[in-house]
Chain A
């Protein structure tokens, strides 16, 4: 880092000319940076620090999961039967594919491939919407069946007459199993973990839409691709968290 603290001369040799208030349209070099490289490296360190806070943010929920599963494994074995493994599996593939397109978008931006960049960003956004669509279907089923956190949990707690007349699920995935106490704890953890993750997907959609607009305008190039790189790193973290959530929530037996 020491070399970048010193006054550096830009490769083009007009370092001081770049110290005006308006950004250079090609490099978008802000006045407080000396070179595009310095600007890029600073942004990169910034996004890594942000990702660290994201990991620590999610770790609170992973901690709750670890403690509850360790001390009440029967609740997790029973309650996870209500989750649709196929939907979780498809969503895993959707997110992995969107990670590929996001990583590819970074390559496109670095190599001035404007058209491919736009296509890869569009694919990433499409996958994000597909993920949220599947999540919506899953959440709808859970809400319909009363598989909810805390006092909202009603499944199997209603009087027998009401249950018989009501909308009990056609197929009971837990047939033959005894319902343990405090099943709602699992759904508290499920909704908070997948919900916080889902909010990150929604935030990612907003960021990618903004970058799509800029990519269509042709703002990214070999000397200025930081925002695409940073957004992709964020997107990979969202994927990475799902990689753990899928087996932890859906694949318990």
Chain B
């Protein structure tokens, strides 16, 4: 409106820079957590848990992804709008894959595998 309007350069940050500066302990701590969880996921994979295998593996991966997002990508200190934009993409991925799975499940009984298999594929065994 007027020349006297001051740009709010802080956006609620406690610090005075243009953006949050990650502390060295937070960077090293995140890195350590990621390395430990990588070892955990490999260790878990050597001990079959049956049907929940994939969910354990995805759970560990999601914890790692969350750590990367919150600390390496500064989402913990980023603006709410940026967080919303980023997280919304996962909602759409969920809808995309969920609907595709439902659709695939619905027409599964109608597939004629003898016709659907590619010609070059030799039989098994």
Is A45 an interface residue, CB under 8 A from the partner?
yes
Residue of B nearest to A36 (CB): B18
Is A168 an interface residue, CB under 8 A from the partner?
no
Q: Which of B38, B79, B118 contacts A89 (CB 8 A)?
A: B38
Q: How long is the Cα–Cα vector from A182 to B123 in the complex, in angstroms?
A: 9
Q: How long is the Cα–Cα vector from A232 to B19 in the complex, in angstroms?
A: 14
Residue of A nearest to B57 (CB): A247
Q: Which of B9, B27, B35, B124 contacts A107 (CB 8 A)?
A: B27
- B17 close to A251 (CB less than 8 A): no
Size of the chain B interface, CB-CB below 8 angstroms: 65
Complex interface: chain B residues within 8 A of A181 (CB): 117, 121, 123-124
- A63 close to B5 (CB less than 8 A): no
Size of the chain A interface, CB-CB below 8 angstroms: 71
Complex interface: chain A residues within 8 A of B64 (CB): 243
- B68 close to A45 (CB less than 8 A): no
Q: 13 interchain pairs (CB within 8 A)? A: A3-B5, A6-B2, A48-B86, A52-B88, A52-B89, A99-B31, A106-B22, A107-B24, A182-B118, A222-B18, A223-B18, A240-B69, A243-B68
How many A-B residue pairs have C-beta atoms within 8 angstroms? Tell me: 174
Q: How long is the Cα–Cα vector from A222 to B9 in the complex, in angstroms?
A: 14
Main secondary structure of the interface of B (DSSP, over half): helix
Complex interface: chain B residues within 8 A of A106 (CB): 22, 74
Residue of A nearest to B94 (CB): A59
- B124 close to A89 (CB less than 8 A): no
Rounded to whole Å, the gap between the CB of B33 and the closest CB of chain A is: 10
Q: How long is the Cα–Cα vector from A51 to B118 in the complex, in angstroms?
A: 36
Of the listed stretches A66-74, A190-198, A208-216, name the one at the interface; the rest are far from the partner chain: A66-74
Is A186 an interface residue, CB under 8 A from the partner?
no
Rounded to whole Å, the gap between the CB of B60 and the closest CB of chain A is: 7
Is A207 an interface residue, CB under 8 A from the partner?
no
Known A-B contacts A52-B88, A63-B96, A244-B61; the reply to A178 vs B124 at CB < 8 A is yes
- A103 close to B27 (CB less than 8 A): yes
- A48 close to B125 (CB less than 8 A): no
Interfacial residues of chain A within 14-56, with CB under 8 A of chain B in the complex: 15, 34-38, 40-41, 44-45, 48-49, 51-52, 55-56
Residue of A nearest to B122 (CB): A157
Known A-B contacts A251-B45, A253-B48; the reply to A37 vs B85 at CB < 8 A is no
Complex interface: chain B residues within 8 A of A15 (CB): 3
- A96 close to B81 (CB less than 8 A): no
